[in-house]
Structure 1
Amino acid sequence: MNFIKSFNNNVALVKDKNNTEWVVIGNGIGFGKKTGDVVDESKIERRFIATENDNSQMETLSDISPKTIDITTKVVKLVEPLLQVKFNSYQYVVLADHLEFALQRADEGLDLADGTTSWSIKKLFPKEYDAAKQAVELVEKLTQKQLSDSEIVFITYHFLNLRSDGTGLHDTVKITKLIGQIVEIVQYQYGITLDNDSFNFNRFITHLRSFMIQHLKQTENHNDELDPAILKLMIAKYPKAYATVERIGDFLQQKTGWELQPDDKVYLTLHIWRVTHRQINNK
């Protein structure tokens, strides 16, 4: 490999014997090098095939401290086997940029909480959340700084962006926040705090997520033949749960424009009754 140019002492653009261009990262790999110099490949800790967008990405990376680049490389090495993913250059730069500012926030005592409760992220995306928690613990160990709990949520979002299940990061954030707000509605209506470790709570959250993904993808599969008597039975048998569903319907209509159909109301009524019934009886 030969140098094309260095972005800083630790990041450089190089080409191999096939003239394929690579972005390489390693301690001191770009120090004092000129175009055409041979690369010491033993110093390469991370490499990405260069793309046309890499100039702007590498300019961002060149502004990040060498210490943060080293930390990011260690975090990526930790996370890739945990989540069975591979970071590309863009994802690496975005994570490095986030960690740089997270460490600055730690120095300044700032907490940029985004309103998303950690339990909802933990329940919906346990693997990514656990990986983010381990990443934060590693960063804290390497820097001797304490990051805010909200950083686990933010880094979970970064890790969710590594996968592709048809739900983009923006939609994932939207779904997570909506679910948290719906849980708050249920808790307010019943005057209880739901047990987020219970089986019925997990079923409720899973149902809400599936319902929202269907709406986002516009793949709702409503049963137009639903017997009206079933909904009437729900109203009569579980009046408080149904009233809560109506509140949720009003909330979703206002926030998203989505409208609950009769079958949505039936399933949500049952889930809400189940998730609240045992706790109320045990009070």
Structure 2
Amino acid sequence: MKIRQILNNNVAIVKRGGIEIIVISKGLSFKYKVGQMMNEADIEKSYILDSYDKLQHFSYLLSQSDPDDIFLIDTIISTAEAELGIQASDYLSLTLLDHLEFLLERAEKGQFIQSPLIWDVKRFYPEYLAVGLMAIQKISEAKQLELPEDEAVSIALHFVNMQATTHAQEKSTVQMRALADMVSIIELHFKIHLDEESTNYMRFITHIQYFIERIINHEIIADEIDSIVLYQQVGKLYPEAFKVVQKLKIYINNQFQADMSISEETYLMLHVNRLTKRLEEN
């Protein structure tokens, strides 16, 4: 395998046969240079992705990630595979690493939100919720954090979604149009053009896809008192994100005759702030 690009001390893109893959090997930059052949015995983890866009997206993510986080996710997935009797894709490993980065960022600020889907997941996917609880326990131990049970739901849904999309389904015209409209509302409000290849954009799009699907399925969740308190705090911290979410709320109401929950508004404010803040810094 020939090294095509070294992303940091531990991550590289190599060419194996006719495809490019991402490989992890602690200290590889001290052993190899671009153009050299890499010994497969030195590879600790590899990722094979099905498109150039995913390769670029996740190579950037891995280059910015703590190696310990990469191996923490690997441990979580290995345990989940044994408990669920599944074979996880490389794509799941990388989306969970992306999720972990966002979770740690929110944990540092104490931004924990009650999941509107916790009772549904407990009822319909108890085995996946058990995996989510295992994951947050391992993360808590590794990072010396106290994470609420609700955080397990988001992780569980990554595994549920992986199983549901094994037979890839095309997004409906309604979903695609709503997604494009919501992105346009954000761009017009901030007078910017969003980077469609960025990590934050992809994270935001994933969240919106799930959200629109819940709206279409008429999944209406009641809010808790704690959700309202955090909603008010986040709204004060990120006033511009609050304003644009109010526009998105009006759009959803007009388009689907549906109301947006307080929890969903809060999540959207966090995503919108993250998406636009990083863009402005760059």
Whether these two folds match at TM > 0.5 is: yes
Give the partner amino acid of 2:139: V
Deviation of residue 32 (structure 1)? Answer: 5.5
Q: Residues 25-73 of structure 1, C-alpha deviation per residue, up to 9 Å, x if partnerless?
A: 2333344531222324334232222431201221122222222222122
The CA deviation string for residues 77-110 of structure 1, in whole angstroms up to 9 with x for no partner, is 2222323333434322221111012123223222
Matches within 5 A, 1:186-197: none
Which of 178, 190, 193 is the matching residue for 2:219? 178
TM score, norm. by length of structure 2 = 0.55
CA distance in 1, matches of 2:89, 2:29: 20
Displacement of 1:23 after TM fit?
1.4
Contact 2:72 / 2:139 at 8 angstroms: preserved in 1? yes
Of structures 1 and 2, the larger Rg is shown by: 1
**Alpha carbon RMSD of aligned pairs, Å?**
3.2
Cα drift, residue 117 of structure 1? 4.6
Relative distance call for 1:151 and 1:12 in structure 2 (3 A) is same
2-structure distance, mates of 1:40, 1:174? 50
Change (3 A) 1:125 1:61: same
Cα deviations by residue, 1:107-134 (Å, 9 ceiling, x for unpaired)? 32221334x1522211111121111111
Q: How does 1:241-280 map to 2 (within 5 A)?
A: 255=258
- Normalised by the length of structure 1, the TM-score is 0.55
| Unaligned 5+ runs, structure 2 | 172-208, 225-255, 260-282
Letter aligned with residue 76 of structure 1: I
Return the structure number with greater relative CO, CA threshold 8 A, min gap 6. 2
Identify if the C-alpha distance between structure 1 residues 180 and 173 changes in structure 2 by more than 3 Å, giving closer, same or farther: same
* Equivalent position of 2:12 in the other structure: 12
1:213 match:
none
Q: Are the counterparts in 2 of residues 7 and 58 from structure 1 also a CA contact under 8 Å?
A: yes
Local SS of the residue matching 1:86: coil
CA distance in 2, matches of 1:57, 1:40: 23
Unaligned runs of 5+ in 1: 185-252, 257-283
Secondary structure of the residue aligned to 1:13 is: strand
* 2:102 is equivalent to residue 61 of structure 1: no
- The correspondence of residues 63-102 of structure 1 with structure 2, limited to 5 A, is 63-102=64-103
Does the 8 Å CA contact 1:120/1:176 hold for their aligned counterparts?
Answer: no
Alignment partner of 1:12: what SS?
Answer: strand
Residue in 1 that maps onto 2:161: 161
Q: Distance in 1 between matches of 2:102 and 2:137?
A: 16
